[in-house]
Amino acid sequence: MHFTAERRLDDGVLEREFTLGEIPGILWTPGSASAPVPLILLGHPGGLPKMYPRLAGRAQHSAAEGFATATIELPGSGDRPRLAATEQARADLRRALEAGEPVGDEIIDALVLPLVERAVPEWQAALDSLLALPEIGGPVGYSGGVISIGVRLAVVEPRIVAAGLFAGSFIPRVMFEEARQVTIPLHVLLQWDDEGNDRQAALNLFDAFGSKEKSLNANMGGHTGVPQFAGDAAVRFFTRHLK
Amino acid sequence: MHFTAERRLDDGVLEREFTLGEIPGILWTPGSASAPVPLILLGHPGGLPKMYPRLAGRAQHSAAEGFATATIELPGSGDRPRLAATEQARADLRRALEAGEPVGDEIIDALVLPLVERAVPEWQAALDSLLALPEIGGPVGYSGGVISIGVRLAVVEPRIVAAGLFAGSFIPRVMFEEARQVTIPLHVLLQWDDEGNDRQAALNLFDAFGSKEKSLNANMGGHTGVPQFAGDAAVRFFTRHLK
């Protein structure tokens, strides 16, 4: 992990860009912290340059509660080389949506599963490097982004002790089985009136999670319109479990 | 409205029992308030003596945030005279549940609709008397209890500006239509693993609400096991809308 740039945001949060091999990432740490702080991994749908304003907002909100946050680019997104199979699956998805056809399971599997297979070990490698920094302690949470990456991480990565998931992307069938193996506390956000989202799939996934503590928080406002109070509640979830 | 008893709880909250005609009720006001405070009407499933510990807990939690709270007994419950038709419907319900049969719409209608018809004007009369007290201002919220009473109140009572509803009781078919007329902000609690509850009916009702701001908060813990953090979130909802 190499830091390539750093700056202070208005509220004193230290923002550092880094690369992890070929993968770009960003780390945010609270301005004033005397002891190592817990870490939240910030998931996103891919495309750090485009997602930056929302990610920085979440990072600053989390820093105010004493959390470090970090994110890395997804395979095939942003400034990383495109993946032929993913591009093909995206084109198939667009075609189905434009034709008003139902999105078939084979399209969803082709779009999401290779991404999960590639991304999860990358997040784990990032975690290795991040937890080696003296200013970052633990425990670790995962927040938002492609929900299947969050589910897989929750199953395979024991250092992640709580996850806030965003039910806003397509869910391969195999993930419903995988969800049963999740046992960490979960805070699931669902935009009830998100027209591009399969609400019933999100409810089925929530039902499948094996966690004893799981909360579904459904709100209005469309895909990108998560209300401020729901963001606050997500941070409080991490405060309960990481502090 | 006649006050019949009063005492101070440990945290300084003033608890006053009252009667409104034949109807017993309880009013809780914060220990220290220099100006009139907003009011939350505390719904419940009926039976004040049995429900008292949980209601007093919710009242104390709300008082700490600066709210007065009040509740009245439901028709046919607690120390009020039984209603023959309601008793019959309860017996029919018990018989269906014991036989493992689905609970038919006619049983649900007979159980809930006459209760709504009787209870709603009583809550409105209580509101008249409560808002006439100098220590109580407004605005007014309604919280919990039989969800159909909350829905009807949200439709017919303009002084109620926000409602926290508990999706834990049978819902007559007509309420799904009525829900479309609700426009005030809603915070709906659903115990996801409440075995005595029809989860799909609760989701359908949530979907039907006409409110632009509505949140569904589903948690684990069974019918009576609403987690502490979900209670906290409900109080925050009222703080957002009544303060």
What would the two tokens of residue B152 be?
A: 């009807």
A96 touches chain B (CB under 8 A): no
Q: Tens digits of per-residue pLDDT, B30-50?
A: 998 789 999 999 999 999 999
Does a cis peptide bond (omega within 30 degrees of 0) precede residue B139? yes
Provide the 8-state DSSP code for A133. S
* pLDDT surpasses 90 at B7: yes
Chain A positions touching B179 (Cβ under 8 A) are none
Q: Please give the distance of CA A174 from its chain centroid, rounded to a whole number.
A: 19
Neighbours of A98 (CB within 10 A): 8
Contact assignment for A214 to B230 by CB distance below 8 Å: no
Rounded Cα distance between B42 and A154, Å, is 39
In our burial notation (b when 16+ CB lie closer than 10 A, e otherwise), range B191-227 reads: bbbbeebbbebbbebbebbebebbbbbbbbeeeeebb
pTM: 0.93
B219 touches chain A (CB under 8 A): yes
The confidence score (pLDDT) of residue A41 equals 98
Region of residue A190 (phi > 0: left; psi between -120 and 50: alpha; otherwise: beta): beta
**Nearest CB partner across the interface for A218, out of B211, B215, B227:** B215
Chain A positions touching B212 (Cβ under 8 A) are 220
Rounded Cα distance between A49 and B148, Å, is 48
Beta bridge partners of B23: B20
The confidence score (pLDDT) of residue B157 equals 98
Percent of chain B residues past pLDDT 90, beyond the cut: 92
CATH of A2-242, one of 1.10.238.10, 3.40.190.10, 3.40.50.1820, 1.20.1740.10: 3.40.50.1820
pLDDT in tens, chain A (243 residues): 999 999 999 999 999 999 999 999 999 999 987 899 999 999 999 999 999 999 999 999 999 999 999 999 999 999 999 999 999 999 999 999 999 998 999 999 999 999 999 999 999 999 999 999 999 998 999 998 899 999 999 999 999 999 999 998 899 999 999 999 999 999 999 999 998 888 999 999 999 999 999 999 999 999 989 999 999 999 999 999 999
Distance spanning both ends of chain B, measured CA to CA: 26
Alpha helices in B65-146 (DSSP H): 84-98, 105-131
Nearest chain A Cα to B200, which residue?
A203
What would the two tokens of residue A101 be?
A: 């056809």
User: Rounded to a whole number, what is the distance in Å from the CA of B181 to chain A's nearest CA?
Assistant: 17
Contact assignment for A217 to B219 by CB distance below 8 Å: no
Q: What is the DSSP string of A112-125?
A: HHHHHHHHHHHHHH
List Cβ neighbours of A207 (8 Å cut-off, separation of 6 or more). B192
For chain A, the structural domain boundaries read 2-242
